[in-house]
Structure 1
């Protein structure tokens, strides 16, 4: 499982965009969002760099 801190994820709309971006990359991925801590945990067959690229392209680059 990969954990990312997303400082730009500040609301439910942001969390939705993060989920959509990750699901587009890997429809079978498991996502756990922690909005108050601005963290996302992702279980995916994709490698970490690919996940980071998808998050960054969606406007939520990991810190």
Structure 2
């Protein structure tokens, strides 16, 4: 089975707790296998999502918003 890698840019993340919150929400989406966050405190952080199925920008955006942050670019 192939995996799909999706990269999104998220604003507002500043610390490890932010990473945990965003990762937890994204990991709850169907098919998500791994979430890797490159934190840029106070700037735009890069979130790389590895999944077994295609994820829509809307569902990723909703998961990030649920954690209290904003997707500013989706480079899927």
TM-score range, shorter chain: 0.7 to 0.9
Q: CA deviation at 1:47?
A: 2.1
- What is the number of residues matched between the two proteins? 63
TM-score for the superposition, normalised by structure 2: 0.69
Q: Does 1:26 align with 2:30?
A: yes
The question of whether the paired residues in 2 share the 8 Å contact of 1:4 and 1:40 is answered with: yes
The question of whether the paired residues in 1 share the 8 Å contact of 2:10 and 2:70 is answered with: yes
Question: Which has the larger strand fraction?
Answer: 2
Structure 2's unaligned 5+ residue stretches are none
Q: Which moved more, 1:15-24 or 1:43-52?
A: 43-52
Higher Cα Rg, which structure: 2
Structure 1's unaligned 5+ residue stretches are none
- CA distance in structure 2 between the partners assigned to 1:10 and 1:23 by the alignment: 20
- CA distance in structure 1 between the partners assigned to 2:33 and 2:64 by the alignment: 14
